[in-house]
């Protein structure tokens, strides 16, 4: 078991709190770059912080610009909490969600941190494990066969009651909903219905026991397990980017455990204000408490391609 109290950023004599100087930051970047260069295999674990660094913020100016009438009508403060609002009708629910999906999945380009990360991974043996549902890895050019998106995808719908295990692309319907919505409602004829049971549809996001894990999800899960098995005895690097404590059991805790268990494993955590590692793996870890996009840009600039 990992100790709960003695958790701190670390790397070979560096500060245990926030970065104390530009020199310390540069030393950590160099150390991270060296671990990436030396690794025989790299497991990328990506959370919401990576997309936030890419500009896909769910609050502040971006939220206020994209959802002004929803803020006025429902007093919403951000996109995340708005997703849990108990709308009175399906017409209201899908008016909000279509706009949420549209601006975070379709009307958006690949963020620079994702593009820089892909460049860093050039000619590397790597695999991506992510809780992000915004499709940014695919937009940046990461191959599907190297990605396991455990929590779903904004671009997919499923039966709300999981009457069958098929997922459906929603792009055309979402665009039409955004186009035709008025007064925070969509026309009733646009409300999605399950083609099998006729019931309600839902976003393919893991939020309850009805989350659909289709064949593609299981194939990705198997590829991830195979990658770990094939590389467990090599110089394997666990690179954690923007993972918070919302769902630590998916990426953070397994990365810590594997870094401890595997003799040749190393761990890098890059996360603004949340970069730390347990005491048991401090001597195998580098924690960079800094903006992820800026850190990746620095690493990319120092990598030999």
pLDDT of residue 1: 33
CATH architecture of 7-53+110-151+213-302: 3-Layer(aba) Sandwich (3.40)
Q: How far is CA 286 from the centre of its chain?
A: 20
Nearest in space to 115 (alpha carbons), one of 141, 147, 148: 141
Query: Can you tell me the mean pLDDT for 16-23?
Result: 60
Using an 8 Å Cβ cutoff, are 113 and 300 in contact? no
Flag whether pLDDT at 163 surpasses 50.
yes
Nearest in space to 290 (alpha carbons), one of 5, 13, 29: 29
Query: Can you tell me the mean pLDDT for 32-53?
Result: 97
Flag whether pLDDT at 13 surpasses 90.
no
Burial 226-242, CB ≥16 within 10 A → b, else e: ebbeebeeebbbbbbbb
Nearest in space to 286 (alpha carbons), one of 234, 251, 239: 239
What strands lie across the sheet with 126-130, from one edge to the other?
A: 147-149, 126-130, 41-46, 236-241, 266-270, 285-288
Question: What span, in angstroms and rounded, lies between the C-alpha atoms of 114 and 137?
Answer: 6
Question: What span, in angstroms and rounded, lies between the C-alpha atoms of 106 and 176?
Answer: 13
Torsion, Cα 211 215 219 224, to 10 degrees, reads 0
How confident is the model over 60-83, as pLDDT tens digits? 999 999 999 999 999 999 999 999
Query: Can you tell me the mean pLDDT for 146-166?
Result: 98
What band does 23 get if pLDDT is binned at 50, 70 and 90?
A: confident
What band does 302 get if pLDDT is binned at 50, 70 and 90?
A: confident
Q: At what angle do helices 292-302 and 112-120 cross, to 10 degrees?
A: 30
What band does 24 get if pLDDT is binned at 50, 70 and 90?
A: confident
Flag whether pLDDT at 92 surpasses 70.
yes
Mean pLDDT (the chain, rounded): 93
Query: Can you tell me the mean pLDDT for 39-51?
Result: 98
Name the more confident of 228 and 22.
228
**DSSP strands (E only) in the chain:** 7-8, 41-46, 126-130, 147-149, 152-159, 168-169, 201-205, 236-241, 266-270, 277-278, 285-288
Using an 8 Å Cβ cutoff, are 99 and 176 in contact? no
pLDDT of residue 305: 54
How confident is the model over 259-297, as pLDDT tens digits? 999 999 999 999 998 999 999 999 999 999 999 999 999
Q: How many CB atoms lie within 10 A of CB 92?
A: 20
Query: Can you tell me the mean pLDDT for 213-238?
Result: 98
Percent of the chain with pLDDT over 70: 92
Query: Can you tell me the mean pLDDT for 84-95?
Result: 98
pLDDT of residue 188: 98
Task: Mark residue 152 as left, alpha or beta (left: phi above 0; alpha: psi -120 to 50; beta: remaining).
Answer: left
Residues 6+ apart with CB under 8 A from 264: 233, 234, 235, 236
Flag whether pLDDT at 3 surpasses 50.
no
What band does 17 get if pLDDT is binned at 50, 70 and 90?
A: very low
Nearest in space to 45 (alpha carbons), one of 229, 222, 248, 288: 248
Task: Return the bridge partners of 224, or none.
Answer: none
């Amino acid at each position: 078991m990992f100790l709960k109290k003695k958790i701190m950023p670390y790397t070979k004599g560096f500060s245990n709190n926030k970065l104390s100087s530009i020199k310390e930051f540069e030393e950590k970047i160099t150390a991270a770059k060296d671990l990436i260069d030396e690794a025989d295999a790299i497991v990328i674990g990506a959370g919401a912080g990576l997309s936030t660094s890419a500009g896909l913020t769910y609050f502040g100016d971006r939220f206020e610009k994209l959802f002004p009438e929803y803020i006025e009508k429902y007093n919403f403060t951000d996109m995340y909490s708005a997703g849990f609002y108990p709308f009175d009708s399906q017409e209201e629910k899908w008016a909000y969600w279509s706009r949420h999906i549209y601006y975070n999945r379709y009307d958006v380009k690949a963020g620079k941190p994702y593009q820089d990360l892909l460049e860093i991974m050039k000619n590397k043996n790597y695999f991506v494990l992510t809780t992000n549902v915004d499709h940014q890895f695919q937009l940046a050019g990461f191959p599907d066969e190297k990605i396991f998106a455990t929590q779903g995808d904004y671009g997919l719908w499923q039966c709300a009651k999981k009457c069958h295990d098929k997922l459906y692309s929603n792009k055309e319907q979402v665009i039409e909903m955004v186009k035709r919505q008025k007064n925070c409602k969509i026309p009733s004829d646009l409300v999605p219905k399950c083609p099998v049971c006729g019931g309600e549809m839902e976003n393919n996001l893991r939020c309850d026991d009805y989350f659909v894990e289709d064949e593609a999800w299981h194939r990705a899960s198997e590829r991830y397990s195979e990658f770990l098995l094939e590389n467990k005895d090599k110089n394997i690097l666990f690179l954690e980017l923007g993972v918070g404590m919302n769902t630590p059991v998916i990426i953070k805790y397994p990365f810590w455990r594997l870094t401890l268990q595997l003799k040749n494993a190393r761990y890098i955590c890059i996360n603004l204000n949340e970069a730390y590692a347990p005491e048991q793996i401090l001597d195998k870890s580098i924690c960079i408490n800094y903006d992820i996009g800026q850190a990746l840009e620095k690493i990319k600039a120092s990598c030999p391609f």
